[in-house]
Amino acid sequence: MSYALQTLWHEKTRYAAGVGAVAFSAMLIALQVGLLLGLFEITSIPIDHTSADIWVGANDVESVDLGRPIPQAEIGRLARPGVAMPELFYISFSIWTKTTGGSNLCMIIGSNLNADSIGAADVLTPEMRTQLTFPNTVVVDRSDLGRLGVEKVGDKGNINGTDVTVVGIVSGLKSLAAPWVFCSRTTAKDLIKLTNPVYEDHTTYLLARTDTRERALRVVQELRTEYPEMTAYTADDFSRRSRWYWLTRTKAGIAIGYAALLGLMVGAVITAQTLYSATMASAREFATLLALGIPRRKIYGLVLAQSFWVGVFGVLMAYPVVQLLAFGADAAGAKVQLRWEVLAGAGGITMVTAILAGVFALRSVRSIEPMSLLR
């Protein structure tokens, strides 16, 4: 290992391209996966920003935004030991019409607004919750103001033919497709039933809080067994399921994954070519070692050690750049989730690629013979 490091240091210009290629691959993989996670984290915002432990909906609901109406009377099914008073939760696609003309799809989210509510979004301040108790009032995210045709608190819009007033603006809840529109449970019900009258006595989800995490898991399993016509999830499971649905059912996940794979392939080719060329440039040195009786397997080990350290230096070079680029992306409004799993996975994949590139470079070692010193 030490000899391999010394070789890399003395021949750093020769191996620079390989280190740069490895760094590029690790950087691209981490950024692409982080961007993908950040993008699809948006789809589970209604779950992640509430304090509910259990979500109950219609049968086979695959994502929170695809909920269907269920009878409000089913709330009694959640009356179990360790489960607090359940709440009704409304969520539905609707049409927002701008005062200046034109319309846009939006997602109505209606919940209880009490201080201890488990369905109210955690970004709603006490003042906003108070304002939302008035009929036909809504809160929207700052990033969606342009799409909704509003600029400030007090501006108006129209949802499903009913005028609504913006009484609050939050930040950090950028939508993927349809802007989130937060309102009271009563306002949500009144607006949604204009296009779907069944909501007169139906809701979209039943939410509940439990005394322990284990209780939530147990209650969810009981509900699935006793009422197979309903869907029951813990909040964490439903959040992951919503993200996975959008990841696998949309072209965005495929496109980003393909870009990451392409970057990995480019990095692998450049690294392999760099190591191959560096090995060929050292052919006379290796031939000398063979002539002195050094086993060929030792030289194989040296080449592989060099590829290992090329990978290490490339990954170490990539991580600060990734953090800097992620910071810039966040500032531009594109959230990048650089979890430790993402960084470790990108580094691991890149290291494997670098070592495989070293294996490719071994072809040149096989063709080296001590007799070449006499030429």
What 3 state SS string does 263-323 have? HHHHHHHHHHHHHHHHHHHCHHHHHHHHHCCCCHHHHHHHHHHHHHHHHHHHHHHHHHHHH
- Is the CA virtual torsion 139, 144, 147, 151 positive or negative? positive
- Regarding whether 330 and 203 lie in a shared domain, the answer is no
- Regarding whether 345 and 292 lie in a shared domain, the answer is yes
Position 1 pLDDT exceeds 70: no
Q: For 173-232, write each residue's pLDDT tens digit.
A: 888 778 999 999 999 999 999 999 999 999 999 999 999 999 999 999 999 999 999 999
Residue 84 DSSP code: P
Which H helix or E strand runs over 39? helix 12-41
pLDDT for 264 equals 65
Coil, strand or helix at 151: coil
- Regarding whether 81 and 33 lie in a shared domain, the answer is no
Domain span at 18: 2-41+251-374
Q: For 14-73, write each residue's pLDDT tens digit.
A: 667 777 777 887 887 788 778 777 777 788 889 999 999 999 999 989 899 999 999 999
Position 258 pLDDT exceeds 80: no
| End residue of a domain, out of 187, 216, 249 | 249
Q: For 309-344, write each residue's pLDDT tens digit.
A: 877 888 888 889 888 888 887 766 667 777 788 788
Position 346 pLDDT exceeds 90: no
Cα angle at 132 between 102 and 194, to 5 degrees?
50
- Regarding whether 186 and 74 lie in a shared domain, the answer is yes
- Regarding whether 222 and 281 lie in a shared domain, the answer is no
Tell me the average pLDDT of the chain. Answer: 84
- Regarding whether 198 and 64 lie in a shared domain, the answer is yes
- Regarding whether 335 and 225 lie in a shared domain, the answer is no
- Regarding whether 296 and 277 lie in a shared domain, the answer is yes
| End residue of a domain, out of 249, 278, 313 | 249
| End residue of a domain, out of 249, 282, 307 | 249
Give the number of domains in the chain.
2
